[in-house]
Amino acid sequence: MGASVLVAAISSAFGVILLAATAYLSALLRADPYIGDSGTLSVVLAILGALLLGVAVYVAAIVTANTFATVVAGRTRRIALLRLIGSSARAQRAELARQGLVVGVLGAVMGLVGGTAVAAAGVGVAEAALGLEGIDFDLVRGELLLPAAIVVLTTWAAAWAGSRRVLDVTPLQALGGSQERGYAEVSGRRGRHVAAVALMVAGAALLALGVVMGLVTPLGVIVAFVGGILSFTGLSIGSVLVMPPVLRLVGRAFGSGATARLAAENALRQPERSSRMAIGVVMGVTLVTMFAVALETVERVLAVSAGGELPEEMTTIIDTFAAIMMGLVAVSAVIAAVGLVNLLTIGVVQRRRELGLLRAVGLSNTQVRRMVLLEALHITMSATLAGLVLGVVYGWAGAQSVLGSVQVDPDGTGSTFSLVWPAVPPGPVVAIVVATAVLTLVAAVVPTRLATRVSPVEALAID
């Protein structure tokens, strides 16, 4: 459960840092003599704070739920054995819920303390680098407890929900070993897929409505934000149907050798596990790309409206905000990395017998390591491409819904337009690609060592 505690801690810290960064930015803007008394600015900051809080809560919920669901899936056989000797289904589910609550509390407290410490250090660095003095800002705030509370609740809920499949399996069936559902079985779950499609359609409709409302008022970003949450939730639920074929298709680009084929086919053999790993990386890449595109678009539009160049004060403010937001890239990358390492490691542990059989029939240690590395590479490549596309779309929708009502004259002819075109900054995109490449190597280190640590004879003896 150590990895689950770590994920909960990072998720809690992520929320704390987001809220602290937003509060500090608000104090920084209020201290500006030119725009500090702006009523519109207050509204925009309030909206921004609410949106960032929603993002923090959502990231925490997805990461902790996916991680704990995978951990619970790996304990199927143990729970079935306990039921076989007399333990009731209710008792086992209650035990899982208690463990989820303990994991959530430990992780939330660690994240709260660590996130506050990181935020304090960030404020000190910002003040020293920008030469800021006299900023009215209190770091210790009551709302910082909210991400920690949400992490506790989502971890407990993930433990409870993750136990449903375990307790549906009869003890005698589980005695043969714990195997995740295959792609054919998962794709036949119509209820889940209907819910996923409904959420994606509803989310897309709200995104479009938010963009249209943005032509009249910046409050359209709230509607667009809800649309983004719903559409991504639908994608997360339906990822078990969509991501495995995509992973398999990406895997075919790595050749037709035995190792490459095995790595590609494993996405369909364990669709739920591979989807959980992929969606975590998709979420991190989407979040970073979304902020980068939105910030670049906003800065470009404001520059055009100001006649081609922003005042130095406004440039400083925008650059400070961009630095704060991009500083959170490291946090989201760590969340994705821990989740991917954890799920890959659990997958290798649960597949020790399979890996031992592959080594027994002729695969070398190098080929087994290469197969695990290719699985990680397939996931990060597919997730990065999906995240970049989603991030551009969400970032453009956010910028459009905020700035659609701002009339600017791009060519000096007196004509105005309300359509904001997305501006994709190359720097963050390159950084994302490099970071995911490093993530692949880091995430595969522990699983590849575990894959060959047990001898084939010992692995085959595992039930």
- The torsion of the CA quartet 391, 392, 394, 399, rounded to 10 degrees, works out to 130
Q: Which of 310-319, 360-369, 426-435 has the lowest mean pLDDT?
A: 310-319
Sequence-distant (≥ 6) Cβ neighbours of residue 282 within 8 angstroms = 235, 239, 383, 386, 387, 390
SS3 state at 380: helix
| pLDDT score, position 463 | 53
Answer for the pair 174, 209: CB distance below 8 angstroms, yes or no.
Answer: no
- What is the pLDDT averaged over residues 237-257? 79
Query: How do residues 191-204 score in pLDDT, each as one tens digit?
Result: 777 888 899 999 99
Task: Report pTM.
Answer: 0.77
Q: How many whole angstroms from its chain centre is CA 307?
A: 38
Q: How many CB atoms lie within 10 A of CB 420?
A: 23
Q: How many CB atoms lie within 10 A of CB 88?
A: 11
End-to-end, the C-alpha distance of the chain in Å comes to: 22
- The torsion of the CA quartet 49, 404, 401, 279, rounded to 10 degrees, works out to -110
| pLDDT score, position 202 | 94
Entry field: residues in the chain: 463
Per-residue DSSP letter, 416: -
Rounded Cα distance between 126 and 26, Å, is 14
**Comparing 436 with 226, which gets the higher pLDDT?**
226
Answer for the pair 228, 390: CB distance below 8 angstroms, yes or no.
Answer: no
- The torsion of the CA quartet 95, 101, 102, 104, rounded to 10 degrees, works out to 140
- What is the pLDDT averaged over residues 22-43? 64
Beta strands in 377-432 (DSSP E): none
Query: How do residues 376-413 score in pLDDT, each as one tens digit?
Result: 888 888 888 888 999 999 988 988 888 776 665 544 44
